Structure 1
Amino acid sequence: MSAAQTTRTADKPTEAPPEHRREWAHMALITIGPVVVALVIGGLVLIAMGVNPLTYYSYVAGRGLFSPSGLQATLTRMGPLLLIAASLIVAFRAGIWNLGGDGQFLLGAVLVAAAGPALVEIFPVWVVLIVGLLIGAVVGMLWSVVPALLRAYQGVNEIITTLMMTFLGVSLANVLVKLAFLDPTTTVPQTRTLPVEDRLPRLFDTTVSSGLLIGLAVIIVVHLVMTRTAFGLKLRVVGANSKAAIHAGLPVPLLTVLVFGISAALAGLAGAVDILGTQGNVRADWNPAYSLTVVPLVFLARFNGFGTIAFVFLFSVLSIGGESAARKLGVPNYFSLVIVAILLVVLGLTEYLDQRRQQKVRS
């Protein structure tokens, strides 16, 4: 072969093998496909309600994506959602179903909302913000101690215990707001309000909270730790086969408690970010139920942090835009949650059919 031919061969871009192209196409199909199907089914539900689905989705996109104020609200909404997603990724990759995120989130939010206005009278704002974030993380972590110990040392199913702790956490949060932390100057039961100037700073002269940067940084770090470090490998081994992990000499009970602690701390941190960045206080009976809402998004992304960012953005657009569409078209505010529920069902069916296909291929 001549030097010129060798140069041309070297300069020619390397094409992906057909197997890799098929694998990428397959992943795109089982990831994006359920989203498209869920939107179509949601459109059929809208038609049954007498609403034009194209009009609804155009309002959603127009408000949540193409409107400057709507886009800023969408990006702000992403902050706590990304932290909840990071919490779930840690737990799910380790084979643990921490479904107590809503209780951990809400209790962290309430304690931060109660402490913030008091601390800002004593300390500089930057100290208050750091302490507030730590309070949220610690409160969330402490609320996971009971399910963690029961799973680690007694083998009690954490799905049951974390859901029970969520119920208790939501109830306790409401009691704290209405009694211990009640702002007596308001007619509606709520905590004292943290002044806007004492909250997390805004980004680039917009209304976007810097909580977005916290969420992005945390979920990227979680992804890298779980996929590129020895600690993440140990957690994945525990999640894949706990008996094999024990035979390999891994301290499974200790790792289980650590997973619960990290996951719950991130959920509590999400509550702190929501209060310090956006809400400023907690009203009685307030519960956005972010944790269970984010579960299908994490599964759609296959526990991949970068993929989760994209799906959280999509949900934030749907959530913010859905609020505007609800006001203009008379659709219930919770219809975006209906689409998420449909998405979860479609995702389950997709996983089932994909496993059946793989079994046929292997056989």
Structure 2
Amino acid sequence: MNVERTTRSAAWARAALFALGPVAVALLAGALLLLAMGVDPLAYYGYVAGRGLLSPSGLQATLTRMGPLLLIAASLIVAFRAGIWNLGGDGQFLLAAVSAAAAAPALAAHAPVWLVLPACLVLGAAVAALWSLLPALLRAFQGINEIITTLMMTFLGVSLANVLIKLVFRDPATTVPQTRTLPVADRLPRLFDTTVSSGLLIGLVAVVAVHLVMTRTAFGLKLRTVGANPGAALHAGLPVPMLTVVVFGISAALAGLAGAVDVLGTQGNVRADWNPAYSLTVVPLVFLARFNGFGTIAFVFLFSVLSIGGESAARRLGVPGYFSLVIVAILLVVLGLAEYLDQRRQRKGED
């Protein structure tokens, strides 16, 4: 029993090291870059924590930002656990956002809000799922690499979203190309008399549900089997092509739901050339959490603090607004090195 407990403790300590170690290294590297730019790292991180975590308004903005990010994370967990690289989340997100932004004001003029909001959320998820159909079929029945097809569909999706905003769904009452604005009163309700959008709850439920389905159900076991060894899955009689299409649909629908939640809960409209590029940003967070839903929630919260606080720090210290993304990029590189060293250590242990 003591040996088993010690082994379990060592496994948890190793997991914590490989999860938190890259974060610490990335923050340290970010500090060195700030010093090279002539900026006090303590002041920068102080503004980040003060605005993104310690300030009541900043904390509420952080929690609101988490809603779509968690839905993107749920989308990636489904795909990655099934061995599928759905890197088309940004295109799926934008097309769903534009669809929800165009439909919500039009429907709100003729139907109650309690009916309009769920309908637009479903619409966004459905549009994104349909947009993923071509890469899904190519991967399932032709074996074409989905990394290439989903990235290509992202470029097409972003361009199509801009065309729809400028030519089809443009609000004629504005000079800047954008969709009509959904009134604040008709958006997703706020939580507990705060400015936090209920999209946060939708994101939390999605991540927890995905985690439980993938780890506790027979359906999740099938998807993990397909991801681990497609040949063995075929030999076991699993319908691999159909499961592949289903995974694409679920993953894309969650990414589309993220776009709809962002528009219906926070933005209210979509402007031309707007692309927050959440999908590729969340990829390293999901890998840091080792595809664990609960760990992903923690890392998404950390990134949201860094994102909201980094915007404030950039204004106060003259740091480029995208510096927080530089830290995320460093984090991705460090994560890759950590994975390489871990696999090398395991191979030496087997030898």
TM over 0.5: yes
Q: Which residue of 1 aligns with 2:163?
A: 175
Amino acid at match of 2:151: L
Q: Which residue of 1 aligns with 2:218?
A: 230
Amino acid at match of 2:94: L
- Residue 261 (structure 2) pairs with residue 273 (structure 1): yes
- Residue 57 (structure 2) pairs with residue 69 (structure 1): yes
The offset of 1:15, in angstroms, is: 9.4
Query: CA offsets per residue over residues 35-70 of structure 1, 9 Å max, x none?
Result: 000000011111111101111000000000000000
Distance 2:200 2:27 in 1: 26
Amino acid at match of 2:309: G
Q: Which residue of 2 aligns with 1:126?
A: 114
Written as runs of structure 1 = structure 2, the 5 A alignment for 1:269-348 is 269-348=257-336
The total of aligned residue pairs comes to 351
- From 35, 38, 41, give the equivalent of 2:26: 38
Q: Which residue of 2 aligns with 1:359?
A: 347
Amino acid at match of 2:157: G
Distance 2:158 2:210 in 1: 27
Distance 1:185 1:25 in 2: 58
The offset of 1:361, in angstroms, is: 1.3
Amino acid at match of 2:101: A
- Residue 135 (structure 2) pairs with residue 147 (structure 1): yes
Q: Which residue of 2 aligns with 1:82?
A: 70
Amino acid at match of 2:119: V
Q: Which residue of 1 aligns with 2:151?
A: 163
Amino acid at match of 1:157: N
1:120–1:14 CA distance, 2 compared to 1 (3 A):
farther
The offset of 1:132, in angstroms, is: 0.6
Q: Which residue of 2 aligns with 1:221?
A: 209
Q: Which residue of 2 aligns with 1:191?
A: 179
**Structure 2, unaligned runs of 5 or more:** none
**Structure 1, unaligned runs of 5 or more:** 1-12
Distance 1:47 1:189 in 2: 40
Amino acid at match of 1:48: A
- From 175, 191, 195, give the equivalent of 1:207: 195
Q: Which residue of 2 aligns with 1:136?
A: 124
Query: CA offsets per residue over residues 206-253 of structure 1, 9 Å max, x none?
Result: 000000000000110000000000000000000000010000000000
Query: CA offsets per residue over residues 45-103 of structure 1, 9 Å max, x none?
Result: 11111101111000000000000000000000000000000000000000000000000
Distance 1:40 1:161 in 2: 36
The offset of 1:23, in angstroms, is: 1.0
Distance 2:196 2:12 in 1: 34
Q: Which one has a bigger Cα radius of gyration?
A: 1
- From 245, 248, 262, give the equivalent of 2:236: 248
- Residue 82 (structure 2) pairs with residue 94 (structure 1): yes
Q: Which residue of 2 aligns with 1:24?
A: 12
Tell me the percent identity. 80
Aligned Cα root-mean-square deviation (Å) = 1.1
Secondary structure, in 3 states, of the residue corresponding to 1:17?
A: helix
Amino acid at match of 1:305: G
The offset of 1:14, in angstroms, is: 8.1
- Structure 1 runs of 4+ aligned residues shifted over 6 Å read 13-16
Secondary structure, in 3 states, of the residue corresponding to 2:336?
A: helix
The offset of 1:179, in angstroms, is: 0.8
Secondary structure, in 3 states, of the residue corresponding to 1:206?
A: coil
